[in-house]
C-alpha cells in the first residue's frame, strides 16, 4: 500500500490511520501519552469510572495527535481542539492546521483517525464478532427498507449485514457533524448496480445537495470500518488505509 508521502492528501485522496492496543497496558499508555493531553482532556480521562475506558480514551487521543503531527510539523502535545454542539471535534491550534478535517472512532482494541485536507469525513469502527440483538436494534433504529432487507438474510449472516449498515450509518451522521441528533431512520444505505454504496435521504435539507462517498474495510479479522466523505462533486476519492505504530 502506498505511503502518505507517495499519496499526499489532495482532491483525490483521503487517509485513514488505525492502531490497536497491542503491547500497551495502562502503565505504558500513561508513560507515553498522558502528558500529551490538555487540561480538559485529562479531566475527562479521569472522569471515566473503569480503567479500560480510560485506556481506550487515551489511546484514541494519542492516535489523533500523532496522526495530525504527521501532516503539520508540531509536537503532539501542541494540538488544541474544540467540539461543536453535537460533540464533533475540530482543530483550534496550531492555526496553520485548521484546514485539516478529521474524525475519530474507537471500539475496544482498536482506534482510527480519518483525515482530509478539504473534505469533511466520518468513520466508525465496530467489532463484528460481538454479540448483539441485531434485529431488535435494527427494528428500532434502521429505516423500513433497511430492516426489511436485513430480514432477507439468514440468521447466521444477519449480524454481518447489521454491522454493514451500522458502520455506514454511523460514519454518515459523523461526517455531517450532528451525531445521533440525526434519526437513523431518516436515511437508507443502498448499493447501486456497480455495488457502490449510496445514501437515500428520506427528509429534505441542505444535506441532499452534497455528494457522499462511502467505503468499508475489514481490519485485523474482526473489525469493520465504515467511512464517509462529503463532496461538492461526484468523484471517487481514494482512501489510503495505514496502521500507525503507537509504541
Mean pLDDT by 10 residues, the chain (247 residues): 60 96 92 95 97 96 97 96 93 97 96 97 93 86 96 92 96 94 96 90 95 95 95 95 91
Q: How far is CA 140 from CA 45, 135, 152, 183, 212, in A?
A: 32, 8, 17, 11, 25
Residue 247: predicted pLDDT: 77
Q: Which residue has the cell 445521533?
A: 180
d(Cα 162, Cα 131) in Å, to the nearest integer? 12
Residue 246: predicted pLDDT: 87
Q: Is 57 in contact with 44 (CB distance < 8 Å)? A: yes
Which residues are paired to 122 by β-bridges?
A: 228
Sign, CA dihedral 45-127-212-5, equals positive
Amino acid at each position: 500500500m502506498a505511503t502518505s508521502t507517495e499519496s499526499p492528501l489532495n482532491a483525490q485522496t483521503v487517509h485513514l490511520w488505525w492502531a490497536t492496543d497491542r503491547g500497551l497496558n495502562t502503565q505504558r499508555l500513561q508513560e507515553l501519552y498522558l502528558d500529551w493531553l490538555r487540561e480538559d482532556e485529562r479531566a475527562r480521562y479521569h472522569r471515566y469510572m473503569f480503567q479500560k475506558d480510560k485506556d481506550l480514551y487515551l489511546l484514541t487521543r494519542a492516535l489523533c495527535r500523532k496522526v495530525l503531527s504527521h501532516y503539520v510539523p508540531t509536537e503532539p502535545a501542541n494540538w488544541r481542539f474544540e467540539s461543536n454542539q453535537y460533540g464533533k471535534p475540530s482543530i483550534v491550534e496550531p492555526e496553520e492546521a485548521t484546514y485539516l478535517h478529521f474524525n475519530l472512532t474507537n471500539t475496544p482494541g482498536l482506534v482510527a483517525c480519518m483525515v482530509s485536507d478539504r473534505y469533511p469525513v466520518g468513520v466508525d469502527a465496530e467489532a463484528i464478532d460481538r454479540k448483539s440483538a441485531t434485529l431488535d436494534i435494527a427494528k428500532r433504529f434502521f429505516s423500513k427498507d433497511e430492516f426489511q432487507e436485513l430480514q432477507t438474510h439468514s440468521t447466521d449472516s444477519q449480524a454481518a449485514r447489521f454491522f454493514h449498515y451500522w458502520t455506514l450509518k454511523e460514519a454518515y451522521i459523523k461526517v455531517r457533524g450532528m451525531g445521533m441528533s440525526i434519526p437513523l431512520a431518516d436515511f437508507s444505505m443502498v448499493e447501486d448496480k456497480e455495488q457502490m454504496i449510496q445514501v437515500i435521504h428520506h427528509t429534505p435539507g441542505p444535506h441532499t445537495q452534497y455528494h457522499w462517498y462511502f467505503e468499508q474495510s475489514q481490519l485485523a479479522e474482526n473489525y469493520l470500518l465504515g467511512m464517509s466523505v462529503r463532496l461538492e462533486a461526484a468523484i471517487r476519492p481514494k482512501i489510503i488505509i495505514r496502521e500507525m505504530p503507537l509504541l
